[in-house]
Structure 1
Amino acid sequence: MAYDFKIRSAVNANGKTAYYAKITGLSTPEFFIAYKTKYEERFGLYNSSVTTNLVYKATDYVGKFGFWAYFIEATTKVESQGSFLCLNTYDRAFFTFGFMQFAAHVPNGDFVRFFRKLLTLPNAPDYFPRLRLIDGRIFYKNDSGATSQLENDTSTIKLMEYLNPTTNEVEQQELICSARFIHWASNDEKHREVQVEHSISLYKENMKKYSKRLNLNGYPAKVCFMVCDILHQGRGTFDRISYALDTDSHEKAFQNLCTIGNTHYATRINGVKAHIKKLEQAGIFNKKYKADTNEFV
């Protein structure tokens, strides 16, 4: 059954416009979607709320994913405080979702691959009845049954506009798509598992690529993690990272990496350092990377 979301807005005591949704025809409660915001010349939504039962914790997934569950954890903390519901629609990506902030503007990027996986879940038609996976690509199906492709190897603009038609204003389609993602992540453990599995897969794939380029075999987990976090956020280049690693001390390499982007991103860098230190003190993050198996041992 395709869900029909009824949207309402309200202005709260501090002047923010908040949006809420309810599924028509069901007795399920109304839920918060997001607040309206303006960023530069763009308007959109953001949801940075943290709900206890909807926050990523490595301990919940270590049984399935082993050390990799811990390896991504610091990034989830600084990206979204680990919130499975983290949303923004106000920047150049048009639509960003999840605790790792998957962004819709990159062809074959993290959001596109994440969304493809979501559309394989049995309840996907309940949330996105118009979307289909055809030959591994996302398509839109109209009333007549004709399909049109929303993303390919060079562009996601049609997918971006499906999720969020413009950034000139907050629009009904944008609200509906946001409500779908928020409700789905809130109420379906499988959706959250896809977020986790995709995030870990992303960092595992990246470690293979980064190790080949930077020769990371034998480096401590914290050095490898910092490389991944820098490139995930985009606060540094491979050349800058290579320069930071050019030392005979792994600890010095880590400290060098921590200086990349510190002028603008000190809060994030301090956040990941603090979380890594906590994991080290717990005896969890004291592993080294083994390139031939793409594992930490």
Structure 2
Amino acid sequence: MKLDDMLGMSISDFCRNGFTDSADNHCAHFVCHVLNIDTGYTCQDHKRGKHPGACLRVQELFSVCPEVGFWGNQPQGTCLVFVTDRANVNIDRHVMRNVPKKHVGIFNNGFIYNYSNIKDIVVRQTPSAFLDRFKTAYGGNQMLYFGSLPFSSEVLDIEEGVPVPAQLPQTNQVQAGPAFNLRTVPATASRDDYFITYPGQAEFYLARETTYGGRRGLAQPSNKVYGARYEISDYTDEYGPVAAIMGIIASGESGCYFNRLNSYDRAAFTFGFFQLAAHTPRDNLILLIRQLATEHSRFQELFPELEVKDGKLHKVSGANSISLENEYPRPDKPNELNLRDFMQYLNADQTKVDNAEISAAARLVHLANSDETFNRLQVNVAAHILMRRIRNTYSTWYGLSGVSDLICAAIADIHHQGRGTKQNVKDALAMANTLKGQLDQLCKIGSEKYPERCLALRYALEEAQREGFLGKQVFDRASGLFRPSSGWVA
């Protein structure tokens, strides 16, 4: 359908999630359904719908445009047009204030196609008529601003009326790392293996296409894993019992491989020996990538489009940068917040293996394969995450002060995978009054659904105790550290 064919249509012709009340503002809603932009707070979030969502908020749409500026400096071709008071926009910071008096439309072939909330239909106007309309409606110092199309958007071919990928702006566009060669080899009738070669480097195996529910992504099957592995003994001097607890969790999560990845589940992208997931705000993978972008030079070379500003990870786009740490409600669990923009940066389309996913995975796996400092930083971030959880959460929930590091390890593994609830753990601890008995009960949590993981935990705990890595220290809540069972040495 061409834009001209949409004239006179109402929002109910576009939205299948039921957010169609004529009393609501649908300007960004219309634009984002047409362009398939689901950044920020969407109609799917608002109505808890099951159909593709579209962004509802003008200021959130403005923030994800790769380039923004005053009207008159817009790029050639299709772009977005925003109108609001001059005081509401800071172009240098790529920010528009959240105020009622703002509007957005699609500029195409000399006209701005936009949603008239008064008429409750799609209309079109020339830029000058569009500006005059809102000067009259809003008053104040109304101005027009352009926004180049977000990377994930689709635009309508003017002649054919079919979706085509948005053209990325060429001016000052930062490329997503060095070029590489991708080779695919059929692994099964419906899945390919992916191999990557960087200039001057040997080819390496990346992953295989994998399906899970309605998602499709990448993962390394167990018979194809390779590369550097986390060894507890390499880190005991630095981290003590924490090194062993990380090793126990890693053995179940990744087989301890530093280059392990998956991009097929709801987290969108999970990486590393500790399997840090992308969807959680202020935790897990965002902490690793933020630290890498700050202090790891080879990562910075491979990911030149990432930078940390004001403590948050941003994606550089031309002269501007866009935060990847905005937090949005999960559609089916609105009380849970997710990093949707970060997830989409790493994996733009969870129904297929896409270029963003391959590019991010290739660069991270390459670093894990070739850079020991990269892997040591993985360990450092994982250790801080683990100890924060033990100090601030598990110790509070279960009264772990003076409790064996073996118990702490079992609890940490259960919650890291998510195979047991807080009540499950409390019940297991209450069923026995000896260390051996409590460990036995903890190792049974989740066994009906994850029997192999539970068995792996049991064996890993026994091995760690046999090797002398665990079983000698207890958690001390006052200091937030592990100490010898017999007390502090000095």
2:475 paired residue number: 289
> How many equivalent pairs are there?
293
Secondary structure, counterpart of 1:72 in structure 2 = helix
1:102 to 270, 276, 292: 276
Instruction: For residue 225 of structure 1, report the CA deviation from its aligned partner.
Output: 0.8
Matched, 1:277 2:462: yes
Q: Which amino acid aligns with 2:225?
A: V
Stretch deviating more after TM superposition (77-86 or 279-288): 279-288
Matched, 1:27 2:200: yes
Q: CA RMSD in A?
A: 1.8
Q: Which amino acid aligns with 1:112?
A: I
Matched, 1:141 2:316: yes
Q: Distance in 1 between matches of 2:326 and 2:188?
A: 44
1:228 to 395, 408, 412: 412
- The answer on whether the counterparts of 1:262 and 1:269 sit within 8 Å (CA) in structure 2 is yes
Stretch deviating more after TM superposition (144-153 or 101-110): 144-153
2:422 to 227, 235, 238: 238
Q: Which amino acid aligns with 2:476?
A: K
- The answer on whether the counterparts of 2:368 and 2:374 sit within 8 Å (CA) in structure 1 is yes
Stretch deviating more after TM superposition (239-248 or 190-199): 239-248
Q: Which amino acid aligns with 2:458?
A: K
1:193 paired residue number: 376
Q: Distance in 1 between matches of 2:445 and 2:239?
A: 29
Instruction: For residue 124 of structure 1, report the CA deviation from its aligned partner.
Output: 2.4
2:298 paired residue number: 123
Q: Which amino acid aligns with 2:314?
A: F
1:8 paired residue number: 183
Q: Distance in 2 between matches of 1:80 and 1:179?
A: 17
TM-score by length of 1: 0.93
2:236 paired residue number: 62
Q: Distance in 1 between matches of 2:338 and 2:422?
A: 25
TM-score by length of 2: 0.57
Between Structure 1 and Structure 2, the one with more helix by share is 1
Secondary structure, counterpart of 2:202 in structure 1 = coil
Stretch deviating more after TM superposition (174-183 or 278-287): 278-287
1:90 paired residue number: 264
- The answer on whether the counterparts of 1:221 and 1:296 sit within 8 Å (CA) in structure 2 is no
Instruction: For residue 16 of structure 1, report the CA deviation from its aligned partner.
Output: 4.1
- The answer on whether the counterparts of 1:108 and 1:152 sit within 8 Å (CA) in structure 2 is no
Deviations 1:70-98, CA, capped at 9 Å, x for gaps: 12111111111101011111111111101
1:78 paired residue number: 252
- The answer on whether the counterparts of 2:241 and 2:405 sit within 8 Å (CA) in structure 1 is no
- The answer on whether the counterparts of 1:150 and 1:159 sit within 8 Å (CA) in structure 2 is yes
Secondary structure, counterpart of 1:112 in structure 2 = helix
Secondary structure, counterpart of 1:248 in structure 2 = coil
Deviations 1:160-208, CA, capped at 9 Å, x for gaps: 1111101121111211111011101111111101111111111111111
Q: Distance in 2 between matches of 1:127 and 1:89?
A: 20
Instruction: For residue 64 of structure 1, report the CA deviation from its aligned partner.
Output: 2.1
Instruction: For residue 292 of structure 1, report the CA deviation from its aligned partner.
Output: 1.9
Residue segments in structure 2 that go unaligned for 5+ positions in a row: 1-174, 328-336, 485-490
Deviations 1:99-153, CA, capped at 9 Å, x for gaps: 11111011112111111111121222211111111111111111x3111111135
Q: Which amino acid aligns with 2:467?
A: A
Task: Please give the residue correspondences for 1:196-215 in structure 2 after superposition, counting only pairs within 5 Å.
Answer: 196-209=379-392, 210-215=394-399
Matched, 1:267 2:442: no
Q: Distance in 2 between matches of 1:296 and 1:203?
A: 16
2:443 to 242, 246, 258: 258
1:17 paired residue number: 192
Q: Distance in 2 between matches of 1:107 and 1:188?
A: 27
Instruction: For residue 15 of structure 1, report the CA deviation from its aligned partner.
Output: 6.7
Matched, 1:249 2:442: no
Instruction: For residue 19 of structure 1, report the CA deviation from its aligned partner.
Output: 0.9
With a CA cutoff of 8 Å and minimum separation of 6, indicate the structure with the bigger relative contact order: 1
- The answer on whether the counterparts of 1:55 and 1:84 sit within 8 Å (CA) in structure 2 is yes
Instruction: For residue 31 of structure 1, report the CA deviation from its aligned partner.
Output: 1.3
Higher Rg of the two aligned structures: 2
Secondary structure, counterpart of 2:380 in structure 1 = helix
Q: Which amino acid aligns with 2:243?
A: A
Deviations 1:213-238, CA, capped at 9 Å, x for gaps: 21111222211111111111111111
Stretch deviating more after TM superposition (66-75 or 259-268): 66-75
